[in-house]
Structures are given as C-alpha cells and as structure tokens.
A and B are shown apart, each in its own frame.
Chain A
Amino acid sequence: MRQLNYRLVARLTGMLLLVMATAMTAPLVVSLLYRDGAWPGLLLSAVAMAAMGLLLRNGLGQHATYDLYERESFWITSMVWLAVPLGGALPYLFTGTLHSFTDAAFESFSGFTTTGASVIPNPAVVPQGILLWRALTQWVGGLGLILFVVAMLKRLNRGALQLYAAEFSGTQQRKLHPHIATSVSRMWHIYTLLTLALAVLLILAGNGVLDSVCLALSTVSTGGFMTTQLGMSSYSQPTLGLLTLFMFLSGINVALLYSLFTFRWKQLRGNYEFWVYATVFTVAVASCTAAFCLKGNGWGHSLGYSLFHIASTVSTCGFYTDPPAVWPFWVSVVTFLLILSGAMAGSTGGGLKLRRLMTLFLYLRNYLTRMLHPNAVFTVKIDRKVVPGEYVNKIFGFVFLYLCFIIGGAFLLTLCGSGIADAFCLAAANISNLGPSPLINSLGANLDYAALPVLSKWTLTVLMLAGRLEIFALLAIVSPAYWRIRR
C-alpha cells in the first residue's frame, strides 16, 4: 500500500496559511487608517500565521510531489479546515476582542464556515480591523478553502477534482470548463464580481465604505456576520432591498450564475433546481406575508420583512431585522423547513440543498408508483439526466447522517442545559450554517451565543464544520480507515 503523501498535505496547508496571512494585511491597513489600536495584534497574528505557513510549506512540505488520491484529499481538506480557522482565531485573541480560546475559535469557525453565529456582544465597539477580518473569513470560506487551493494550483489538475469533491461532496457538480482549475477560477471571478458590485451599490445607497465592504463580504458568502448589535434594523430600505436581492442571488449555483453573466440564458431554462428554488422562495414569501397580514400587521412591512427574512433564511445567510409586531407561528414553520432545505447545490449557502431534496422527492414518487406496479422500473431524472441508483443511495445516506448530526448535536446541547426544542433549533441552524435566526428567538432560546456554555460552543462548532464540509469529509477524519497510514 502506498504511503500517505504527507508532504503534500503539509505544503498545501502551509500555502493556505500563507495566503491567509497575506490577506490579513487588509485588516491591518484598515486598522492603521482608522487608528483603532488593533494593529499590533493583527500584525502579530499575521506573522504567526506566516511563520507557521512557511514552516509547513518550506519545512515539512519542501520536496512534495503532487500525487493526490482520496486519502490525501481528505487529509488536506480536514487539515486545511482545522489549521486555517484556528489560525484565523488568533486576531481575536491577540487584539483582546475575545478573551477565551473557545470564544475566538467559535467566532473563527463560524466565520470560515459562513455560519455567522457571533459571540461578540456588540460589534459596534470592536476595532474596525477586526470587523473586516471577520467579514473576510466568511468570504474566503464562502466558496470554500479547498476551492482556493484548487484555483491557486493549476498543476494539480488530476487530483484537483478529488479535492473539489472532498469539499463539495454530495451533489454532482457541473464543471464550467474541462480544466478544473480554470472552472474554479471562473467561479472565483464571478464571486468576486458579485461582491464588488454589492459593495459599490451599498456605498451608493449611502452606507459607510468599511460597513459596505463588510456587509458585501458577509452577504455574498451567505455568512451573516452583522456589524451592529441590533441586527440590520438600523439600515435604510434601499440597503435592505439590495441585501435581499444579493442574498437571493448567492443562493444560486455559482456555475449557473456564471452562465447567466456570460448571457447563456438557455442554461437557466434547463435547470430545474433553479425553478424549484424560485418557486420555493415565492411561495414562502407569499405565505409569510399573508400570515403576517392576517395577524394584523401592515402590508408594506409584512412584505418587506418576509422578502428579507426568507432570502436570509433560504440562502442560510442569517441576517435579521425587526419583525412586524405580531409573529405568526406559520412563519416559524416555514423558517424551520427552509433552514433544513437550504438553497441550490453548488451555491455558497448551506443546508441539505434543494437538488438533494428533489432527488429524494422523485425517488419517493417512484416508490409510491412501484407500490402499485411492483414490476415497473423507474429512474430518477433531474434536468433530463438520469441520477444513478448508487447516487441516490449516497444522498439518502447523507441526509440520514445530517439528521443524525442534528440529533446528536441537540443531545449534547441538552447536556449543557438547553431545552429540547431549543436544542433542535440551535443544532439545525448551525449545521445548515445559518447562524442567528429569529426562529430561535421566537422559541425562547437565547440568540446570544456568547452566553452558551463552553461545551455547547464546541458542539455548535463541530456542527458548523460538519455542515460546511457536508459531513463526509469530517466523518472521514474520525474513521479508523483514515488513520491507517500504511495498510
């Protein structure tokens, strides 16, 4: 049996740490410009990360060969997803924003997994440099750390697909270009373009520059870190409108967005998932607006809030504003279902993803027909293409494990004193990388993540990571076969 190519693992992890250290110069510059006093801490973390990165890249990974198989791809995925968020926690500690390691790690993992659950009580008093860093972690995590690696290394082509699959496990991805690195670069381009567009529009809508940039980074990555204490209620209507639009857009498959931007409209017509997504969104907004209105809230506020809330939930972004005065229970029902479903596969959002749910639904339909006609043979077809049987099985397995994680996570949360209903909502909101949601508030749980006990925070951290890595990459780390270096 081949030995694990640990040098490559070290080299890629180190490389990504170096990239993140470089990225930290942006908050550093901001910190110096705003004179928020956080620059020594940021500089120190950047140096520490760079040192660690150099050690891994040029020390351990000096003579790495680019042989990459499944085992390596899992090692790389897990190492990168552990090392980078842990490194990303340093600025919070070194600048004194957060005082305990648990809190810093929670904030950092929440950022990189684009969850957006924050333990910073009042972001308004946090140094501006840290705010930008927080938003930046989401942006990098949005498309995925591994996609970063893949985009950087053109010569990884053969193994890149495996790496790509390790992070985006559950769904069949349509490549934009036969060359995987090229298609991943294109994804990054469209992602950057969206972010820039939103930032500029937000500035034009009259928001501060730094605020706009932070919000744009949080929105397009469907992260959901907010820069004020009271959610988004202090922003103007046009700002909220823009955010709603971009949250909806970031729930769309990045590859599909690319074809839209290159004017290949046909792709849109053939993509059933998009229509399901649009329908789900419309129906959810319509029913929630109706529910709000029936409880006696005004039309305008009801519609505006429903649009914002549903876009934020279905894309698993996690922004919230002031809800209308009376909260109908129906909205909680819709919210919870959307938290579980999530947006389109291949988008930056979390959740189970609509494509998987469509597959399951079609399989269920076949099952029912087969109960009536036992000898009939059916296949599941999406976008006029057959989904192979073992693929359906994998999706089933994924959903099963996803629910197991929610149940297991909820169990651990009850160990720390959460009620059963709250525990389920918290676990679901964090595994789907949603983060804060008014749903949790309406059930009486504490939106304030900072007040949770340490074990709860770590449980939620693991759930976030499980949700972001779509479980298998995370489970691979704990499976015995993974640790068998030489078999």
Chain B
Amino acid sequence: MRNAGDWKAMLRFLGITLMAEGGLMALCAMPAVHFADGTLWRIAACAAVTLAVGGALWRAFRNEKVIKDRRMSYLLVTVLWLTLSVFATLPFLVTGSTLSLTAAWFEAMSGVTSCGATVFADVGSLPASVLLWRSMTQWFGGFGVVLLVLALTPRLGINKYALYTAEASGADNTGKSAVRTTVTVRRTLAVYLLLTAVFIALLNASGMQMWDAMNLTFTNISSGGFSPYSDSIASLTHTQQYLLAGAMLLSGVNFTLFYLLFTFRWRQVRHKVDQVRFYLLVCLLSAAFVVLSLRYGSGYGWSDAMRCGTIQTVSALTTTGSVVGDYTLWWTPAVFLLLMLGICGGMAGSTSGGLKAMRVLILLRNARGILRNRLHPNAVNPVRLNGSPVSGHITNNVMVIFMVFGTTLMLGVMALMLAGVNATEAIGASVGCLTGYGPGLGASGGFGSYAHFSAPAMWVCSGLMLLGRLECMTVIILFVPKFWRT
C-alpha cells in the first residue's frame, strides 16, 4: 500500500468516474429548464463542482494508469461507490429536497447501489431535476455494477482469485464476451443503451409521457425501483405495468447473454442455459404461488391477481422493488416468498442484487451432491453447471459468500432492531437493503418509505446497501488488519 503510483492511479480512476457522474448531473438541468422548477442554477452548480473535482483529479494523475497492488483494486471498488454517493448527495442537499445529511446519504446510496429504498414519503413534491437525478443514479449505478463484474474485475486482476466467483472465473468462463476490456465495456454499454431506448420508446408508444417513460425505464432496467410517484407504478395503465415488468425481467438477465443473442451467437448461449432455466423456473413457480394466493387468499379477481402477482414477483426476484400493489397487506406466506426471492436475486452479471441465481444453483446442487455422497460414500459427485463440473474450490467460495451474506443479513436485522426498528420491519429493511430490493415490510414496505427511520437505522441500511451491491467480501476485506499491513 506504500506504492504512490497505485494511489494516483486510483485517484485518476475516481476522477474519470466523477466526470461521468457530473456529466449526467448536468443533464438533469434540462428538466429544470423544461419544467421551470427553479432548481436550474443549483443543479448546475452541483454538476459543475462534480465535474471540476473529477476533472482536476483526472488532470493531475492522467499518466498513472496501472494499479499494481491487488489490494488497491479492492479498495478502489469500495471507494468508488462511496465517492459516487458522496457527490450524489449534492443535488438532494443543494436543492433543499432534504436538509438532513443522513437522509441525503441514504437516498444517494440507495440510488448508486440501485437499491430503491427511498426516504421521501412524498416523492411528488420533489423538483423535476431531483427526480431525474434519482433515476439517473440508479441507471448508472446499475450499469456500473455490470461493468464492474464484466469488465473492470478482470482488468483489475481481482478475478485471479474468484472474487466474483461465479461470474468472472471458473464456473462460467464465458462471463466476458470479448478478450479486451474496452471491447467488453463498449458492448455492454451498447446493450444497456439499446434496452433503455427500446423501453422508453415502448412506454411512450403505450401513451406515457416521455418524462415518465424516461424516469421509469432508468429505474427499472437497472433493477433500481425509484419512481417519480409515491405509489410507485400502481397508478400506471396495465399495459405500462406489464411493459415495466418486462424491463425488470430483462434487468435480471446476464448482459453477456443479451450480447450473444443480439449477435445471433446461439450456440454460445448453451454455456448459460442452466442459469437461465433456473431463473425463469423460479420466476414462474413463485409467480404462480403469489397469483394463486392473491386470488384465493386476498380475494383479488383473476386479472388483478395475475397482474399484481406476476409483476410483484418479477420485481422481487430481480430486486427491482417497483411496487404494483401494497404487498404488505397480502397473505403472509406470499410476502415471505417475495422476501426470499429478493435473497435469491437474478442472474449473475445482471443489474439485480441478491445472492444471484447461479450461486443458489451451485448451493443447491452441492447439497444434493453431499446427500448422494452419504448414500454412496465412494461416489464422486462434483457440482455440474451447464454440463461441466465446477471445482470444489469454487463451490466452497460460493458457500463462503452465502454464509457471509446470510450473516450480514442477520446482523443487519439485529442492528436495525437495536436502532429501534420493530422486528418485522427490521427483517424487511435488512432484506430490502442488502439485496437491493428496496422497500421492506410494515411502514417501510409497499408504498411506504424509510422516512420514519432513525438516523442510526438509516446508516445501518445504507451500509447494508453497499455491502449487498459489492457482494460483501470486497468491503469486508478492508476491515481485515492484514489488508493494511505492508
């Protein structure tokens, strides 16, 4: 950690990212002009500050391009997300949307981790520029994490030891669509932009205002879940809701898969077929359960049950967190299932959070293997994924991530309860924040917000969001004394 070059390279990287963030912030000045909400100069100032800091960092260290120390790359990932949130708080504070630093930090973190938990009880009263900024943070946060997994991790050398175990190495060696990082980045960005454009167009075609279409697409394609309305997506037409469900469903799919599909490389898709099948199967079965429970447990009509059940299931599984009906009032087992779906999450290499379908699949198959092994002690039962065996090493690493995830979840519940949140709501908030689903249970679930949380509880939540988005280990390693020893 004594290598000055590494620090400089890290600052350069931060500078570039901040410039991108500042650029997006500048875009938020457009609605300020269009709707004349009086925040033009303030949002412009925020953008200017962000751009200036980013530009200065980049300018000062533009020649330091290589990070040599692996530890630095772990640090970079966490620092990156923290810095992004620090600057993302600016528009909230400067426009006076919230006066509390804690609340602004919570909202910013929820944005850049594309979590979707909000502290604004009445979203409708926010200025247009801030609304767009909220959506924008999720949009680039979601893209950022895909980039992190697909492009940056290999480049930073983290993949050498299976940090993103299931994705960047071993278990799935088709994680990247190209050998060169720049090419991967470009392709991923292209896919992301294409999906965003398509859904904006579709929503617009279904009769939605361009403004809403943009906001909702940004937050749903990134599996974020912010909405410009307090009742999330409940007041939209049914067609629009189903369209958004489509966006969410796609946001839970591995981005490389899209690239393969768009370029007609059908044969390579088979390397991911297990994941896709599992993801769709979980989605289908859970949706069926939720729909039936709504029809027969909560007295919905068939069409409403179908709509609310399927859309909310997709929203939970992809950890988006858009709310189509107040699910906190639904039959408890259905709510329970939605929580568990959040923990499962979408496919690895997508914008969704949670454990990821591939890991859950490995965990289940490993358990089955152990069971078989007990019946036939001499049989060799490696975990197989897409037809090829997964090494025991990787299986154990997935297990570690699962354990750490589970422990974090549990400690999160307890920390929240110590901060004065009641048991049910603490479970909901811990799952909501750690998996990136967003809304939880009780008053913070459904159409509710986290506005009533105490400051310590909000800090716990934002910590959980960060841990969840960066898959725990990257953050935890920073707290190991050995990490800082030279």
Contact = CB atoms under 8 A, between A and B. Distances in A.
Interface in A402-451: 403-404, 407, 410-411, 414-415, 417-421, 423-424, 443
B396 A396 contact: yes
A482 B477 CA distance: 43
Contacts of A482: 375
B371 A476 contact: yes
Interface in A111-147: none
A372 B333 contact: no
A386 interface: no
B403 A397 contact: no
Contacts of B476: 368
B195 interface: no
B477 A368 contact: yes
A374 B406 CA distance: 25
CB-based closest 7 A-B pairs: A374-B161, A421-B423, A396-B399, A397-B370, A414-B332, A414-B333, A333-B414
A401 interface: yes
Interface in B394-427: 395-397, 399-400, 402-404, 406, 414, 417-418, 423-424, 426-427
B337 A476 contact: no
B94 interface: no
A369 B74 CA distance: 13
Contacts of A368: 473, 476-477, 480, 482
Interface of A: 70-71, 74, 169, 329-330, 332-333, 336, 360, 363-364, 367-372, 374, 389-390, 392-394, 396-401, 403-404, 407, 410-411, 414-415, 417-421, 423-424, 443, 472, 475-476, 479, 481-482
A415 B332 CA distance: 7
Contacts of B161: 370-371, 374
A374 B371 contact: no
Nearest to B69: A372
Interface of B: 70-71, 74, 160-161, 163, 332-333, 335-337, 339-340, 363, 366-367, 369-377, 392, 395-397, 399-400, 402-404, 406, 414, 417-418, 423-424, 426-427, 441, 473, 476-477, 480, 482-483
A420 B431 CA distance: 13
Given A329-B417, A336-B414, A414-B332, 16 more contacts: A74-B374, A329-B418, A330-B418, A367-B400, A371-B163, A372-B482, A374-B161, A392-B396, A393-B396, A397-B399, A398-B370, A418-B332, A421-B423, A421-B424, A423-B336, A481-B376
Contacts of B163: 371
Contacts of B366: 393, 396-397, 400
A396 B482 CA distance: 25
Given A371-B74, A372-B483, A411-B336, A400 B375 contact: no
B483 A476 contact: no
A71 B375 CA distance: 6
Contacts of A374: 70, 160-161
10 contacts: A363-B400, A371-B161, A374-B70, A400-B402, A420-B427, A424-B427, A472-B370, A472-B371, A476-B371, A482-B375
Nearest to A410: B336
Contact of A390 (B392, B417, B477): B392
A420 B336 contact: yes
Nearest to B479: A368
B399 A400 contact: yes
Among B392, B399, B402, B480, find the residue whose CB has the most chain A CB atoms closer than 10 A.
B399
A333 B413 CA distance: 10
Nearest to B383: A393
B367 A389 contact: no
A123 B74 CA distance: 59
A239 B336 CA distance: 43
A401 B399 CA distance: 12
Nearest to A396: B399
A263 to B, nearest CB: 37
A419 B425 CA distance: 11
Given A371-B161, A420-B427, A479 B371 contact: yes
A352 to B, nearest CB: 11
B371 A475 contact: yes
A335 to B, nearest CB: 11
Contact of B375 (A363, A367, A372, A479): A479
Contacts of A371: 74, 161, 163, 473, 477
Contacts of B426: 421
